[in-house]
Amino acid sequence: MVRLIMCLLVLAPSIGFSNHYLDGVWVNDNLGKKIELFSDGDKLDVYGVKPHRQNRQVFWRISKRRYEDRYGNRIKIEDDGCLEFRYNYSLRKIRFRKAAPPHRDRVAPPPRGRHQGGYDRGHKDHHNTGRFSLEGRWYSPKTDRSLQVVEEKYGFSIKFDRDGDWKYFEKVSERTYRDRKGNTYVVNGDGTMTWRSFDRDRTITIHREGR
């Protein structure tokens, strides 16, 4: 029993922080490139990636060690101190090594829905609904499929989990978003969202998955 307790005490720190071993500054010495990563469940918040180098870019987990953003860029985790990055328009792979812990001003993002400078998620929450963030994983009981939502400056992008293309919906009123074809999403009072086709013949209501 004593030996078991000692083992648990030794393992406790690594268990508690295992989800954040990717957090920090990663560099490629040969090319002089630098990116910064923050783990958040099954996604990574990444700074330093084109086309939005200064702002957060979201990479969603697509397998145990691979992540992909809405542009098709991919990150592969090779081990705790090395990762591989590939832009969607190039077959070239860039290897990064972990060089430093996260910058202090980005370690603790503000709570969702609260506008604070220095982190774009709070701004997007306020812009989109004025109350809560739409970003995250959603589920459609009608199609039995999960979806991913990434908030943008003037709306959000959405795609079915693990396949499909990203579709952008621009905010056109307090709770309504429309794509270029005329399809809409409406944020309902109960926290769900309802998609309606441009001809208003089809509707699908989606629910937020637990974080």
Q: Is residue 179 a contact partner of residue 169, using CB atoms and an 8 Å limit?
A: yes
Tokens of 120: 């774009």
> End-to-end alpha-carbon separation of the chain, Å?
35
Domain 2-106 has CATH 3.40.50.150: no
Rg (CA), the chain: 19
Higher pLDDT, 56 or 204: 204
Domains 2-106 and 120-208 share a fold: yes
Every domain of the chain and the residues it spans: 2-106, 120-208
Stretch 55-70: mean pLDDT = 84
Tokens of 33: 């490139």
CA 46 to chain CA centroid, nearest Å? 9
Residue 210, pLDDT score: 64
The string of DSSP codes covering 107-170 is SSPPPTT---TT-HHHHHHHHHTSS----EEEEETTTTEEEEEEEETTEEEEEETTSS--EEEE
The set of residues, in sequence order, having a beta carbon less than 8 Å from that of 90 and lying 6+ positions away, is none
**What are the φ and ψ backbone dihedral angles of 118, each rounded to 5 degrees?**
90, -5
Q: Which amino acid is at 133?
A: S
Residue 53, pLDDT score: 59
pTM of the model: 0.48
Element of type H or E holding 126 = helix 120-128
The third-level CATH classification (topology) of the domain covering 120-208 is: Lipocalin (2.40.128)
Higher pLDDT, 130 or 17: 130
